Structure 1
Amino acid sequence: MSLTKWGLIAGGGLLWVWIGGAGAAAGIVSPGCLSGGEAAQLADVDEALDLHLRDGRVVHLPGVAAAPGRVTDARTLLRGWLLRTPMLVRVLRSEPDRWGRTPALAFAEAGGSSPGLVSVSEALLEAGLVLARPDADIDPCWADYLSLEDEARRTGRGLWATRHMIDPQDATALQANAGALAIVEGRLARVHAGRARLYLRFSGDGGTGFAAALALPLVRRMTKGGQDPSGWVGRNLAVRGLLDDRWGWQIDVTSLQQLRLDPP
């Protein structure tokens, strides 16, 4: 895989960022993902990594979430790249969200030896500066997003130089990520049904410990499609979503994008 390596000054040091390359694994727009759109110019990037355009719109990039400790690096990358090159913005929903943001994907030329449009979200994932966040709007892109996040984690880029998947038995790590987008990974111990959810638990000690709380409509869709979570006991499972501690540690799961099961 050929990558264009950018050096950006961030946080008092030199931040190396990989942009472009060959195929979807390097951020180039792939056939399975959404591409195209209208021309736009960047005015600024805020701390949520929303793109403020010169025409007054605020673009929200669905499918990625700013990672704690890496916001400055991500903003530096986006400003250094997108303020000097035109973008294409593909609006995913015409109605703004409740914060007045337009959900859209953004694309721009990588420059250098990597011709073609690059997905802005995928470039951030590849550099290890954001986490992939489940979102139905980017379902065609989700496999690419996970692949890029995996590669950044394997090579220790960005946030993955010091961060790892959260162990469901690690109370300190769970507490540190309370209320934030988290990825909890471990061996599933048991499955039990509640009144409104199916609980996937990672410890066998009654109702304590971390759980993935699957909404029953999702469970019914899974069962209809031949996926039975009760058969996952003993297998390694990663759960992604907002980590809630109000009724014990859990992540509410409403989408298959939030679950990743290792092969048996």
Structure 2
Amino acid sequence: MSRSFVPAVGCLGFALAILPAAAAPRIAPETCQASILREDRIDAVGPRGELVLASGTRAILDGIHWPETEPEAAQAAAHLAGFRGRGLAISQRGETDRWGRARIDAVAEPASETDEPSDLATGLVVAGLAHADAGESDLFCRIDLIAPEGQPRLARRGVWREPVLDARDGSALATQAARFVVVEGRIVSVGERAERTYLDFVRRSAEGLTVTVTKRTWRIMRERGLTAATLRGRLVRVRGRLEVRRGPILEIASADMIEVLEGERALTR
């Protein structure tokens, strides 16, 4: 295909039918506002899921964490490359990142009359080829990407082929330093401080996970009914990049990166 941009006929129409639900934010809608939809096509797929579009835009899909392991990274790239030549309806969210890449939502036009439009981020998550992730943002605009993880997680497919890490297993967690992880465990104590709140999964922090929550994110969690009193003893799933200091530490920037897995006060999704 030539690098010149050729609009996809009807591309915006089918995207409008599915993107409002897909991109609906959980809180503060004004900060999740995306740009007006426009048409484009994938010209190439680069390292770590970078999309080179026919219009010349360099972009990454919003709301996902690209696989850090093989063969999942190669499979994810091949999955996106399969959409080359098909019309995309895209909208940009926020400013470009430090590498000049736009964060986008992208929906591909149907391959045939019997097919459905394809949200690219959702397709990767359903295939087990990406995790839902807010990244460094304290607001997660693609909350709809968390529920589709259930099937590949149960099937142990793709990025879920290894079991979810146990928050009480400090030794196993220590081997994952500087990597994106998904961890499950029961919170045994909550320590509220002026600038941070600490969620501990073991009595001695060196032996298991400690999750740190920023002041702003803790306020949002409290507004949702997730307080120190309601979180103690609860089974949760958390995700993010792991650090190892005195023990394993994971900082939650977005309140949606902690899921309550049981009980009447579980997050409504």
- The bucket for the TM-score relative to the shorter chain is 0.7 to 0.9
Q: Show the counterpart of 2:93.
A: 92
Distance 2:193 2:141 in 1: 32
Alpha carbon RMSD of aligned pairs, Å?
2.5
Shift in CA distance, 248/189, structure 1 to aligned 2, threshold 3 Å: same
Counterpart residue type for residue 186 of structure 1: G
Q: Cα deviation per residue 1:179-210 (whole Å; 9 max; x = unaligned)?
A: 12211101111112345211111112366521
Q: Show the counterpart of 1:260.
A: 259
State the 1:146 CA deviation: 0.8
Distance 2:223 2:139 in 1: 23
Task: Tell me if structure 1 keeps the 8 A contact 2:138–2:253.
Answer: no
Q: Give the secondary structure class of the aligned counterpart of 2:59.
A: strand
1:25-104 matches, within 5 Å, as 29=18, 31-34=20-23, 37-67=37-67, 68-69=69-70, 70-79=72-81, 81-93=82-94, 95-104=95-104
Shift in CA distance, 140/115, structure 1 to aligned 2, threshold 3 Å: farther
Instruction: Kindly indicate which of the two structures has a greater share of residues assigned to strand.
Output: 1
Shift in CA distance, 30/151, structure 1 to aligned 2, threshold 3 Å: farther
State the 1:113 CA deviation: 7.2
Q: Which runs of 5+ in 1 are unaligned?
A: 1-27
Shift in CA distance, 76/234, structure 1 to aligned 2, threshold 3 Å: same
Counterpart residue type for residue 91 of structure 2: R
Shift in CA distance, 207/74, structure 1 to aligned 2, threshold 3 Å: closer
1:229-244 matches, within 5 Å, as 229-244=228-243
Task: Tell me if structure 2 keeps the 8 A contact 1:92–1:137.
Answer: no
Q: Show the counterpart of 1:5.
A: none
Counterpart residue type for residue 32 of structure 1: A
State the 1:168 CA deviation: 1.3
State the 1:66 CA deviation: 1.3
Distance 2:41 2:171 in 1: 43
Q: Show the counterpart of 1:179.
A: 178
Q: Give the secondary structure class of the aligned counterpart of 1:48.
A: helix
Q: Show the counterpart of 2:221.
A: 222
Q: Which runs of 5+ in 2 are unaligned?
A: 1-16, 24-33, 264-269
Q: Show the counterpart of 1:111.
A: 111
Distance 1:112 1:158 in 2: 27
Distance 2:101 2:91 in 1: 13
Distance 1:172 1:110 in 2: 47
Task: Tell me if structure 1 keeps the 8 A contact 2:105–2:121.
Answer: yes
Distance 2:166 2:132 in 1: 18
State the 1:263 CA deviation: 2.2
Q: Show the counterpart of 1:210.
A: 209
Distance 1:127 1:154 in 2: 12
Task: Tell me if structure 2 keeps the 8 A contact 1:62–1:138.
Answer: no
TM-score computed with the length of structure 2 as normaliser: 0.77
Deviates more, 1:244-253 or 1:95-104: 244-253
Task: Tell me if structure 2 keeps the 8 A contact 1:29–1:118.
Answer: no
Shift in CA distance, 137/44, structure 1 to aligned 2, threshold 3 Å: farther
Task: Tell me if structure 1 keeps the 8 A contact 2:167–2:185.
Answer: yes
Q: Show the counterpart of 1:130.
A: 130
